[in-house]
Each structure stands twice: as C-alpha cells, then as structure tokens.
Structure 1
Amino acid sequence: MTQEVSMDALIRQRIRGLRIARGWSLDALAARCFLSPSTLSRIETGHRRIALDQLVPIARALGTTLDQLVESADNEDVVIRPEPEHARGLTTWLLSRDGAPGGAVVAKMRITPERSTGGEQLGVHPGREWFTVLSGTVRLQLGERTVLVGAGESAEFSTMVPHHIGAHEGPVEILTILDRDGERAHLHAPEHAPHRDV
C-alpha cells in the first residue's frame, strides 16, 4: 500500500512539475487536456483519485507519454557499471542503456596505435558523428583529409564521408555519442571483420 501511495504522489509531482516547467497555469493545462481547472488542481494536490482516462490526455498535453508519467522512481538503474569490450587496438565502455531517449548511445573508447596498423579501411554509414577527446590526440581520417584532434577538443562530421578514427603517437581516449546507424557500424561490427570503424 505504501508503494502505491508513493507512486501516486510521484505522478502528481510529475504533473505539477511539468506544468510549472512549461510556465502554464492550471487553467492553461486544463484547457489543453479538456479537464476543469478544479479537477486538475485536486489531482495535483491529492484530493482526487487519479484515473487512467485522465492521465492519458494530461500526459499528451504535457508532451510526454503515459509510460514516462507513471514509470518507477527506483534508483537501482541510476548507476551504470560498464564492462569493457575489446577489439584490436580498441576498448569500448557503453555508458548508456539500451532504449536511451532518441536511440542515442554514449560510449567511452580507448584507441591505441595498434588499431591503425595493417592498413586502415575507411567506413561509411548514414548520419553524423560527434566525439570529444579526453586524453591523447586523435587522428581523424576524412576521405583524403587527415585532421588531428587534441585533448579538450571535439569533432563533428557527416559519416557519409569515408572516415576512420585512430590514435596519433600514443593511446587516446574519447567520449562519443552515436545514433542508431553509428551504433550498428561501430559497436556491432562482426568480430571477424578486418576493422571496426569508429
């Protein structure tokens, strides 16, 4: 019973918090979800039981989903403990969970010069790519062009340009955000492939 009450209170806080964040009065939200301002006020303050047929239009009006409005507040999923995945000259730590908003994947990568030996093959896939260099210097190959990106600098480029990310004169660590196409190209390349394009 206590868990049900605390979940109920959390939903009420979310409704009120989202409304206030948008700068809306009770009247403004009530008009958007076709409820009376007094009904909405009683929902927010806990003086009225929350009904599913009220939550759906409230969630829609607030620009969220019913799932997000009622999702659990458990903190067990807050900390991510990434396990390193190794390939020749590349170690990857996934820093986001499956199903992240927008399908974006955040990863930390450690690239060593070993990755660049044996002839680099340039990869191409739809989308854009972004990374920031945490330490070392990245050697970014974009078609015929070579760009050096140092610690504290970032790079963003179209992945339709043939590209390869390698280490320049020593190991490098980067933080990267990949879209769905980038994740498929970089993190799900077959083990037997001659390279894993970043």
Structure 2
Amino acid sequence: MTQEVALDAVIRRRIRGLRLARGWSLDALAARCFLSPSTLSRIETGHRRIALDQLVPIARALGTTLDQLVESTEDEDVVIRPEPEKTRGMTTWLLSREGALNGVTVAKMRITKERAAREPSVHPGREWFTVLSGTVRLQLGERTILVEPGQAAEFSTMVPHFIAAHNGPVEILTIFDHDGDRAHLHGPGEAAAK
C-alpha cells in the first residue's frame, strides 16, 4: 500500500510539473482534457483520488502517454557501462539502452585505417555525428568531405555514404535512427569478428 501511495504522489507531481512546464493554468489544462479546474486542482494536491478515466485525457492533453505518466520511480541504474564491440578497423561503444530515446541509438566509434573499405550504403533516415578526435573522411555520394574535430555532419542516408578515418584514427559520437542502427551496427559483416 505504501508503494501505491508513493506512486500516486509521483503521478500528481508529474501532472503538475508537465502543466507548469507548458506554462498552463489549471483552467488551460482543464479545457484540454475536459475536466473542471477544481477537479484538476484536487487531483494535483491529493485531495481527490486519481481515476484511470481521468488519467487518459490528462496524459493526452499534456502530450505524454499513460505509460510515461505512471511509470515506476524505482531507482534504476542510470549509468551505462558500454562494452566495446570490435570489427576490423572499428570499435563501437553503445551509449544508449535498447529502445531508448524514441528509437535512436547513440554510439561512440573509433575508426582506424584498417576498417575494411566497402561500397557506400543507402538506407532510409538521417544520420548525425560529431568528431571527437582525428579527421573523418565522409564519402557522401560523389563527394568526399573531411570533417575535423569539433565539427559535426548531418545527412540523408538515402545518399550513398561511408565513414572512414583520414590520416590516422578517428573517434566520433554518432546518433542513428532505427534504420541506421540496423544498417551500421547490425548489418552484414559489421557484427562479425569481435
């Protein structure tokens, strides 16, 4: 019962916090979720029990999901301890959990000149990376672009592309959407030799 009371309090704080973050008054949220301002006030302050038929329109009005509104508050391990995955000429550290950040994958990559050259790939989506050290040679269609430390690149992955090291090892921080994750981290030959 204590855990239910604690979760109930968290839900109330989330509702109030999301409302205030949007700069909405009780009246503004009430109009969006078809509840009275006094009902919302009593929900936020704990003077009224929260009913499921109230939570659904509140979540929808706040632009969140019911799952996010009621998700557990138990302490989870927030530290990600990436294990390096090695292929010839490339080491990858996954810096996000599976299914995190709305389907995107964050990874750190170290690429050396030993990375096997291959045909540039094409897949749906967009890709982004920033160079931490070294210089990236980005093959993008017919162009070769050098990307220096501190610079970033973003491009449509429908353009044939390949990332390589230029004159020495390079480290990048990259963000892939779901299609990029499949193409670059789980594609044929990439997950081979560890």
Q: Which bin holds the TM-score, normalised by the shorter protein?
A: over 0.9
Partners of 1:30 and 1:161 in 2: how far apart? 47
- Deviation per CA, 1:148-181, whole angstroms, max 9, x where unpaired? 1111010111212211100111111100110111
Matched position secondary structure for 1:168: strand
Kindly tell me the number of residue pairs found equivalent between the two proteins.
192
Name the residue aligned to 1:2: 2
Matched position secondary structure for 1:151: coil
Distance 1:104 1:114, change over 3 A: same
Contact between 2:43 and 2:49, CA under 8 Å: does it hold in 1?
A: yes
Q: What letter corresponds to residue 11 of structure 1 in structure 2?
A: I
Name the residue aligned to 1:50: 50
Q: What letter corresponds to residue 103 of structure 2 in structure 1?
A: G
Q: What letter corresponds to residue 113 of structure 1 in structure 2?
A: K
Indicate whether 1:88 and 2:95 are aligned.
Answer: no
Identify which range, 1-10 or 38-47, moves more after superposition. Answer: 1-10
Contact between 2:87 and 2:190, CA under 8 Å: does it hold in 1?
A: no
Task: Please give the TM-score of this superposition, normalised by the length of structure 1.
Answer: 0.91
- Deviation per CA, 1:20-72, whole angstroms, max 9, x where unpaired? 11111111111211111111101100111111111111101111110000001
Matched position secondary structure for 2:53: helix
Name the residue aligned to 1:170: 168
Distance 1:67 1:188, change over 3 A: same
Identity among equivalent positions (%) equals 80
Structure 1 segments unaligned to the other structure (5+ residues)? none
Structure 1 stretches of at least 4 aligned residues deviating more than 2 Å after TM superposition: 190-194
Indicate whether 1:64 and 2:64 are aligned.
Answer: yes
Name the residue aligned to 2:76: 76
Task: Please give the TM-score of this superposition, normalised by the length of structure 2.
Answer: 0.93
Query: CA shift at 1:193, angstroms?
Result: 8.5
Q: What letter corresponds to residue 19 of structure 2 in structure 1?
A: R
